[in-house]
Amino acid sequence: MRVLSMKISGFLGVIATIGIAVCVANGSRAEGLRDEPNDAAPFKMTRSLQGLQEQIAQGNTHALQAQRTLLAKMDEAYLKVAVEVWQDPRNARAAVIHLLSGGHPGVMKHLLSIDPLPAIDRRLMEASLAYVEGREEDMQELLSEIDPLDLPSSLGGHVALVKAAPFIRSEPAKAMELLQVASLLMPGTLVEEAALRREVFVAGMMGDVARFRVLSIRYLRRFRSSVYAGDFRRRFALALDTLGFVQSEDKFALLDDVLREFDADSRRGLYLRLARSALLAGHLNVARKSTDEALFLAVDGTKEKEILKVYLSATRLDPEDMSANRDLLWSINKAMLAKEDLELLDGVYTVLNSVRHFPEPPENVIGEFNVASGISAPDERSWLTADMEIAEKLLRRTGRSLALLGEKQ
């Protein structure tokens, strides 16, 4: 009941926010924003937009749809605003925030053409337009001498987030610094949510395991329900591969507290990914631990459960596990496996058969190592495996060493 009540409350909050904003927009059409500029001020509409975005950051999907509606209303209303209204710095800042929040670039192009220009540094207007149009180099040059910390926080957070974009791959340390500024300037907002998501990705690129862990936990505790949390989970999974958590048990143990912050479904998928990566890399202890964790969360009769049976069998190659492994392999529903999983299953069977017995020798050839050592090798040797040939060489060397030792004595 409590969850339902929260959902209803959130929905009503969205209705109230979008209702106020739409009334403002409608009022602006009726009055041209000339007679009542204070009631329909652009900065007030932008505040409504930011209120919706805070709800989006907390997972309110109704707010996401309401944001689209509000942005369309703002696009229309801002084009009708009287020129003198933009001489209020709050309204001028609102125009830049509107564009960086998804507003139509046509609004900013219009504002750059009016006289006098809005009461804000022209570079901020042109840089925001360059950013949304994909002109990254122009944006970078325009913002090069602008410090986000010198701006009001509601605008500075957006500018820091935008400035970080070109540096994510070229200068990740600089990008991380700017993303941290964005988070600090606008805590609890969609800007902080976006900055934290990017910080996790950058920490993975930098190979900074400690920072990756801290940022991931912070994101999950603050924005686990965000509408964009799926993008975070994707970035997180990619970072797991690049940071090499499957390469050792000690490094794998560092993930424990992070993974427990995820919901059960996400945690199962991540452990499944880790198990496969560890198995293919030959780190069987990590593969076994990942598989055990995933199996605990898996549901019987699902494709994931059948795949995990394959992984579990692959991690139990000791002769004493032979009977249990055989029964486990026989219980797998092959019809539920993809082609690559079937190929892995065939590989597991091949290895287990090699553990179980040596290949049968040709007729009239004794296959025991301790019997009839004087019998000459057969003409046909194709039945021999590479391992058996190595063993044969080692036995010959051992025989020669023992003979030399006997001569010395």
Q: State how far Cα 58 lies from the chain centre.
A: 18
Cβ atoms of 361 and 383 closer than 8 Å:
yes
CA distances from 24 to 66, 67, 96 (A): 15, 15, 19
Confidence at residue 32, expressed as pLDDT on a 0 to 100 scale: 39
Confidence at residue 39, expressed as pLDDT on a 0 to 100 scale: 47
Residue 373: band (very low, low, confident or very high) from pLDDT cuts 50, 70, 90: very low
Of residues 381 and 99, the one with the higher pLDDT is 99
pLDDT at 292 over 90: yes
In the chain, the percentage of residues whose pLDDT exceeds 70 is 80
Cβ atoms of 140 and 166 closer than 8 Å:
yes
Annotate 166-187 with b (16+ C-beta within 10 A) or e (fewer): bbbeeebeebbebbbbbbbbbe
pLDDT at 280 over 60: yes
Q: Which helix (H) or strand (E) holds 20?
A: helix 2-31
The segment with the largest mean pLDDT, out of 30-39, 192-201, 384-393, is 192-201
pLDDT at 392 over 80: no
CA atoms within 13 A on the CB side of 306: 16
Q: What are the tokens at 70?
A: 């509000």
CA-angle at 50, arms to 47 and 52, nearest 5°: 115
Annotate 4-32 with b (16+ C-beta within 10 A) or e (fewer): eeeeeebbebbeebbebbbebbebbeeee
pLDDT at 249 over 50: yes
Q: What are the tokens at 312?
A: 């579990």
Backbone angles phi, psi at 295, to 5 degrees: -65, -35
pLDDT in tens, 322-352: 778 888 888 889 899 999 999 988 888 887 7
- As a whole number, the mean pLDDT across the chain is 83
Distance CA 106, CA 112 (A): 10
Distance CA 228, CA 101 (A): 15
CA distances from 305 to 245, 269, 321, 396 (A): 23, 11, 20, 48
The segment with the largest mean pLDDT, out of 89-98, 313-322, 351-360, is 89-98
pLDDT in tens, 62-92: 999 999 999 999 999 999 999 999 999 999 9
pLDDT in tens, 10-46: 444 444 444 444 444 444 443 434 444 444 789 999 9
pLDDT at 310 over 50: yes
Confidence at residue 317, expressed as pLDDT on a 0 to 100 scale: 75
Confidence at residue 400, expressed as pLDDT on a 0 to 100 scale: 77
Cβ atoms of 29 and 79 closer than 8 Å:
no
Distance CA 342, CA 349 (A): 11
pLDDT at 142 over 50: yes
Distance CA 268, CA 254 (A): 17
Least confident of 13-22, 244-253, 261-270, 286-295: 13-22
CA distances from 20 to 10, 14, 15, 74 (A): 16, 10, 9, 12
Distance CA 340, CA 310 (A): 12
What does the DSSP assignment read for 233-288?
Answer: HHHHHHHHHHTTTTS-HHHHHTTHHHHTTS-HHHHHHHHHHHHHHHHHTT-HHHHH
**DSSP label of 114:** S
Residue 89 CB burial class (10 angstroms; 0-12, 13-18, ≥19): middle
Nearest CA to 84 out of 27, 151, 35, 26 is that of 35
Cβ atoms of 322 and 352 closer than 8 Å:
yes
Residue 245 CB burial class (10 angstroms; 0-12, 13-18, ≥19): buried
The mean per-residue pLDDT over the stretch 231-241 comes to: 89
Least confident of 155-169, 231-245, 313-327, 355-369: 355-369
116: preceding bond cis by omega (within 30 degrees) = yes
Q: Is the dihedral of CA 368, 373, 374, 379 positive or negative?
A: positive
Cβ atoms of 81 and 103 closer than 8 Å:
no
Confidence at residue 267, expressed as pLDDT on a 0 to 100 scale: 93
Distance CA 362, CA 378 (A): 8
Q: What are the tokens at 89?
A: 């710095």
Residue 130: band (very low, low, confident or very high) from pLDDT cuts 50, 70, 90: very high
Give me the helices (H) in 316-385, please. Answer: 322-330, 339-356
Confidence at residue 8, expressed as pLDDT on a 0 to 100 scale: 42
The mean per-residue pLDDT over the stretch 384-395 comes to: 70
Residue 185: band (very low, low, confident or very high) from pLDDT cuts 50, 70, 90: very high
Residue 378: band (very low, low, confident or very high) from pLDDT cuts 50, 70, 90: low
- What's this model's pTM, rounded to 2 decimal places? 0.74
Confidence at residue 349, expressed as pLDDT on a 0 to 100 scale: 84
Residue with tokens 């609102």: 94
